[in-house]
Amino acid sequence: MKKVLILAAGLGKRMNSPRPKVVHEVLGKPLLNWTIDVAKEAKTDEIGVVLGHGAELVYPLIPSDVKIFIQESQVGTANAVKAAKNFLNGKVVILYGDVPLISSEVVNFLFESKANMTILTAILETPFGYGRIVRKDGKVIKIVEENDATDDIRKIKEINSGIYAFDSESLVYALDRIKNNNKKGEYYLTDAVEILLAGGYVVETVQVKNPNSVLGVNTQKELATLIKNVKDDINNALMDAGVTIEEPQTTFVGPDVIVESGAVLKPFTFIYGKSRISSNASIGPATTIVDCTVGNNTFVIRSDCSGSVIGNNCSIGPFSRLRPGTFIEDNVKIGNYVEVKNSHLSKGVKSQHLTYLGDATIGEDTNIGAGTITCNYDGIRKNKTFIGKNVFVGSNTALVAPVKVGDGALIGAGSTITDDVPAYALALGRAKQLNKEEWVLKKRRDSSDEK
């Protein structure tokens, strides 16, 4: 069995935040999910996560196939592993919820390690805050935490990444013997080194090639630095692959986003979640896209889109809002101050100004006039609006759902549509206009007589 156990029970005191550390996001993805996804990418049979502090805020982030263990009080990394004792069998790789950049290749490498304990180490120019690897005759003899280190040990630049591979029997042997006699009074998993060596077990180290991949997040400043570094790496890789990023400093693309070569990302653009931006699409400026697919030659300008599929040759924005469940076919135009939610817009639909389309299905080439509102909510439930193809909805129409408008129908401006409209009918749902001839002149005359 190959198992990954992720420790994520700590509060992260140094974050100075009421929220647990691991829910803080890096490019739209919580820290903990970075580690979970690495474990999933590796050849892992089973993943476990140890939660504790603020567990109720962390639960929603955890996929259903990941086992959850609770550490009642956060008294150290060894105690956290102990909370998952039932999970330990076969080869176990320990990862941290606050060390997000480790690669799945390294995890696979650790799965194959032969020693009873293998420590992943790194050389850091500023090793402050990390446990140091202490060696004798070239062999690791112990790990000493910053707090417990002498000045000589503090000078050591080889640090403990906190990532290890254990065979489960050796791990349990060490867990049963770790004590909390250190400055913090915590049960340190790092003490496993001395305990295993004393018991005649084999402890080895492997040095990671890219030290940035084991950087932990302990403070808000470290989080900001990490976000910046990851953002730069992702932007550089995208530019190398033929994506135009006009201003990389203000462009943020999440790790699970695909941007095809030829796409253009304009300043102040954020693309997160599982989004895909096709070739020749242009996104931004000032646009946020989360979990969306954007087609070829589509422009999204100064807009906010989430959970939506947008076809080819569309124009979205400026100032449009697409909410989850929106499906937009090719050649659609969505303009300023238009909000679309859970709706299907067929080819060639135009809705250019000041509109709300919710729970609606709209046929090909239909024109939605300015100020149209689908009144989808009756205070109890959401109701659907069906509009056929080639319909002309006049400006300022309220469509009171559930309601159907047939193909080719025309709705007069200012109508409140409460009944279905047959195909090719003209629907007028407004008060008839009344003109009173010369009413203004008479009114003026009457009021001057009174004076």
Distances (CA, A) of 177 to 12, 193, 301, 394: 26, 11, 60, 78
| Catalytic residue chosen out of the listed positions 24, 53, 344, 353 | 353
Q: Judging by beta carbons within 10 Å of its beta carbon (0-12, 13-18, 19+), is residue 160 exposed, middle or buried?
A: buried
Residue 131 contacts which entry, ligand UD1, Mg ion, none (Cβ below 5-8 A, type-dependent): ligand UD1
Out of Mg ion, ligand UD1, none, what residue 342 binds, judged by CB under 5 to 8 A for its kind, is none
CA 237 distance to own-chain centroid: 19
Q: How many CA atoms lie within 13 A of 157 on its CB side?
A: 5
Interior angle at CA 101, CA 98 and CA 105, nearest 5: 125
* Closest to ligand UD1 by CB, 92 or 143: 143
Interactions with ligand UD1, residue window 159-218 (CB under 6 A): 159-162, 188-190, 216, 218
Going by their DSSP bridges, the two strands 46-51 and 67-70 should be labelled as parallel
Instruction: Out of 5, 50, 403, 411, point to the residue binding ligand UD1 (CB under 6 A).
Output: 50
What is the rounded distance in angstroms from the CA atom of residue 367 to the CA atom of residue 69? 55
Q: Name which of 97 and 388 has its Cβ closer to ligand UD1.
A: 97
The DSSP code for 431 is P
Rounded to 5 degrees, φ, ψ at 87 are: -85, -20
Distance separating alpha carbons of residues 298 and 313, to the nearest angstrom: 5
Q: What are phi and psi of 304, to 5 degrees?
A: -130, 115
Segment near Mg ion (CB under 5 A); pick from 216-224, 231-239, 360-368, 439-447: 216-224
Nearer to ligand UD1, 95 or 334 (CB): 95
CA 287, 323, 331 angle in degrees (round to 5)? 75
Answer yes or no whether residue 291 interacts with ligand UD1 by CB under 6 A: no
Q: Residue 148 or residue 330: which is nearer to ligand UD1 going by CB?
A: 148
Binding mask 57-96 for ligand UD1 (x = CB under 6 A): --------------x--xxxx-xx---------------x
Residue of 236, 242, 235, 273 whose CA lies nearest to 257: 273
135 or 443, CB closer to ligand UD1?
135
- Helix (H) / strand (E) element for 26: namely strand 25-26
- Token pair, residue 82, equals 């102990």
Q: Report in angstroms how near the CB of residue 62 gets to ligand UD1 at its nearest.
A: 14
Closest CB 251 distance from ligand UD1, rounded Å: 29
8 A C-beta contact, residue 222 and residue 230: no
Number of residues that bind ligand UD1 (CB under 6 A): 30
Token pair belonging to 385 = 């609006």
Confirm if 213 and 123 have CB atoms less than 8 A apart. no
How many whole angstroms from its chain centre is CA 3?
25
Q: Judged by CB under 5 A, which stretch of 92-100, 302-310, 339-347, 389-397 contacts Mg ion?
A: 92-100
Name the nearest CA neighbour of 101 among 50, 161, 143.
161
Residue 359 interacts with which of ligand UD1, Mg ion, none, CB < 5 to 8 Å by class: none
Helix, strand, coil % over all residues of the chain, rounded to 5: 25, 35, 45
Q: Which residue of 100, 216, 295, 371 would you call a contact of Mg ion, by CB under 5 A? A: 216
Count, residues near Mg ion per rule CB under 5 A: 3
Residue 8 binds: one of Mg ion, ligand UD1, none (C-beta under 5 to 8 A by kind): ligand UD1
**163 vs 292 by CB, closer to ligand UD1:** 163
The answer to whether residue 53 is catalytic is no
Measured from each CB, the residue nearest to ligand UD1 is: 131
130 binds, among ligand UD1, Mg ion, none (CB under 5 to 8 A by kind): ligand UD1
292-308: string of b/e by CB count within 10 Å (b at 16+)?
Answer: bbbbbbbbbbbbbbbbb
Q: Which two tokens stand for residue 160?
A: 């403990």
Q: What span, in angstroms and rounded, lies between the C-alpha atoms of 147 and 136?
A: 21
Q: Which of 9, 38, 117, 387: binder of ligand UD1 (CB under 6 A)?
A: 9
Q: Which is nearer to ligand UD1, 40 or 353 (CB)?
A: 40
Q: Does 130 bind ligand UD1 (CB under 6 A)?
A: yes
Q: How far is the CB of 95 from ligand UD1 (least distance, A)?
A: 9
If the CB atoms of residues 87 and 96 are measured against ligand UD1, the closer one turns out to be 96
Residue 300: name its binding partner from Mg ion, ligand UD1, none (Cβ under 5 to 8 Å by kind): none
> Residues with catalytic annotation?
353
- Residue ranges that bind ligand UD1, judged by CB under 6 A: 7-10, 50, 52, 71, 74-77, 79-80, 96-99, 130-131, 143, 145, 159-162, 188-190, 216, 218
- Residue ranges that bind Mg ion, judged by CB under 5 A: 98, 216, 218
